[in-house]
Amino acid sequence: MNNNLLKDKLSIIVNDDILMQAIRIIFNKRIEKEKPEIQKTDDNIVLGEKYRAYEKAKEMIDEAFIDLMSYKKEYKKKEEFNKEL
């Protein structure tokens, strides 16, 4: 697939604030479903590994959204024509 076509499609998505919020909600719900369960037998090392993996996954999602926002295009508002001149 054409790289410019992909960039254009990503630009359409990221310029739609409501769509981006909806996508973010889905990712946040998924990461919360994957939150590690703490077992009574987990020692501090295991707890640390579980927590680190969970936090790293959240960080990766945040960074992916930052990457996506690089495709956002700022559209200049057209100046209105002044008929009275």
In tens, the pLDDT along 26-51 reads 999 999 998 999 999 999 999 999 99
- This prediction has a pTM of 0.72
Tens of pLDDT, residues 50-78: 999 999 999 999 999 999 999 998 766 66
pLDDT at 1: 72
Distances (CA, A) of 37 to 32, 40, 52, 54: 11, 10, 13, 11
Listed by start position, the domains of the chain span: 3-68
Give the mean model confidence (pLDDT) for residues 4-13: 92
pLDDT at 9: 92
Question: Residue 80: CB partners within 8 Å, gap ≥ 6?
Answer: none
